[in-house]
Amino acid sequence: MAVFTDNTPISLIKGFSNGRHNRRCHWFPASDYNQLQDHQKIVGEALINLAGVQQGEKVLDLGCGTGHFTRVLSELVGPEGRVVAVDPDAERIKIAKESSKKKPNIKFLVENDQTFPGQDYDLVFCNHVIQRVMDKVALFKRLHEKLRSGGSFVLLTFDGTPEFMADILDAFSEFAGPDFHHKLMYEQQVWETASTYRELAEAAGFVVKSIDTKQSHEEWGSLKELISYFHGVSHGLFDISTVDEESLEQYRVENNLRSFHVPRKLLYIKVTKP
């Protein structure tokens, strides 16, 4: 659980200025994302356990972001194993490479679910990514082709559309634009339920080993951090340089916002290729 309070050190927010007359924020989507993804890391640990990674395996980290789990996977497969980590966001791959210089068994590439190289993977690991893949039929088909027989695909996402986001995202319309909610939730992402994922996997030839839902919760006490997080996850969909500390604080006070409780209905899935 990620718990952020009003006392969260301001230094957590890259580029945040405490200067009295210089309160414009100069943040970058990938670094915002890199610093404020604690919840995703914590719940992703259970996906690592579900994957059951073995020494010497060849793993694809699909949508690796800034590479936190790529490095975990690299340790688990050991020097005889290999991790190919792909993400279409070049800025995130740059950060991932810089943070992983001592991991010779990782190859980072700016690619996506339809362009990643390699075959005969033992495992495809996919944390908080599948909702961003528009054509999920094509995704399952390609993963089935690229895994070895007996190989596994594990994924973590939300079960259905996370309705709780509506309140929070509407609160951001003042800063991120009235269409931010729609763009982030329905243009950048396509949400499916557990039963649809089962159908997609089975139609592609996979055997479903497990589908589990889990209720999770995070709490954000600072509007500054939350807007920075949404700037990151939306890949910079709005201009955060126009957002200043005083307007955020004024908004928070006017709307009596003390903290944001964010429940998440998580979905953990493991399928294997017969």
Ligand X SMILES: C[S@@+](CC[C@H](N)C(=O)[O-])C[C@H]1O[C@@H](n2cnc3c(N)ncnc32)[C@H](O)[C@@H]1O
| Burial call 38-53: b when 16+ CB within 10 Å, e when fewer | bbbeebbeebbebbeb
Q: Is 88 in the site for ligand X (CB under 6 A)?
A: yes
Q: What angle do CA 82, 143, 216 make, to 5 degrees?
A: 85
Q: How far apart, in Å, are the Cα atoms of 121 and each of 70, 100, 144, 189?
A: 15, 21, 10, 26
Q: Which of 129, 204, 226, 266 binds ligand X (CB under 6 A)?
A: 129
Among 57-65, 179-187, 220-228, 250-258, which window interacts with ligand X (CB under 6 A)?
57-65
Among 14-22, 124-132, 162-170, 248-256, which window interacts with ligand X (CB under 6 A)?
124-132
We find the least distance from the C-beta atom of residue 256 to ligand X, in angstroms, to be 30
Please answer whether residues 232 and 30 qualify as being in contact, where contact means their C-beta atoms are separated by less than 8 angstroms: yes
> Quick one: tokens of 123?
């495992």
Among 129-137, 190-198, 211-219, 262-270, which window interacts with ligand X (CB under 6 A)?
129-137
Dist. CA 59–CA 84, nearest whole Å:
6
182 — alpha (psi -120 to 50), left (phi > 0) or beta?
alpha
Among 49-57, 88-96, 194-202, 223-231, which window interacts with ligand X (CB under 6 A)?
88-96
We find the least distance from the C-beta atom of residue 174 to ligand X, in angstroms, to be 24
Q: How far apart, in Å, are the Cα atoms of 155 and each of 124, 167, 178, 197, 253?
A: 8, 27, 32, 10, 39
> Quick one: tokens of 191?
């949400």
We find the least distance from the C-beta atom of residue 128 to ligand X, in angstroms, to be 4
We find the least distance from the C-beta atom of residue 146 to ligand X, in angstroms, to be 13
> Quick one: tokens of 91?
């800025």
Q: Which of 24, 132, 252, 265 binds ligand X (CB under 6 A)?
A: 132
Dist. CA 248–CA 7, nearest whole Å:
16
Q: Which is nearer to ligand X, 132 or 252 (CB)?
A: 132
Among 7-15, 128-136, 204-212, 244-252, which window interacts with ligand X (CB under 6 A)?
128-136
| SS3 call for 37 | coil
Q: Is 15 in the site for ligand X (CB under 6 A)?
A: no
Q: Is 87 in the site for ligand X (CB under 6 A)?
A: yes
Q: Which of 31, 35, 40, 74 binds ligand X (CB under 6 A)?
A: 40
> Quick one: tokens of 160?
């259905």
Q: Which of 35, 74, 100, 127 binds ligand X (CB under 6 A)?
A: 127
Q: Rule CB under 6 A: which residues touch ligand X?
A: 37, 40, 44, 62-65, 68-69, 87-89, 92, 112-113, 127-129, 132-133, 233
